[in-house]
Amino acid sequence: MAAAVEAIPAGARVFLTVGRQELAPFAVRTDAWMLARVIDPPEEPVPGVTLVTGRGPFNLVAERTLLVEHAITVIVAKNSGGDASYPKLIAARELNIPVIMVRRPAPPPGDSVGTVEEALEWLKRR
C-alpha cells in the first residue's frame, strides 16, 4: 500500500477503493484530496479522507458519474480478482483517468480450490 500512497501525484483528486482497513496510510498525503468508497466506515476516522458508502457491484453509468462529479484525477484500487470492478476501470479509461492498481497479496501456502465442487472433492480425498 505504501507504494500506492507514494505514486499519487501532488494535487490529485483521488478515488480510493482499497477497503476501509487500508485507508490510514493515505492520511499522510495532505497534498491530495481523497474520496474513499467503503461498505462500512472505518472504526477510526481517517483525516483528509472523505467517505462515500456503497456496496457493489456498480454499473458503468454510476461509476462514470461519481468520477465526474468529484473531478477525480487518479484512482487507487485493490486488485480484487473479480469482474465487479470492471465498470470503474472502464469509466477510468473513458475519462482518461490513471489507475494505480494494488496487487493482491500472495496466497498462503497450501492447497486451494476454485469451486465448491472442487472443495468437496478435496474433502473426500482427506
Strand partners, 77: 17, 101
Contact residues for 100 (Cβ-Cβ < 8 A; gap 6+): 4, 7, 8, 74, 75, 76, 77
Which CATH number characterizes residue 48's domain? Answer: 3.40.50.720
Domains contained in the chain, number: 1
Whole-prediction pTM value? 0.82
Q: What is the pLDDT of residues 58-89, one digit of tens each?
A: 999 999 999 999 999 999 998 876 677 789 99
In this structure, of 18-32, 53-67, 80-94, the range with the lowest mean pLDDT score is: 80-94
Facing residues of 52 across strands?
A: 37
Q: Higher model confidence: residue 113 or residue 71?
A: 71
pLDDT band at 45 (very low <50, low <70, confident <90, very high): confident
Where in the sequence is the domain holding 52, given as residue range(s)?
A: 2-125
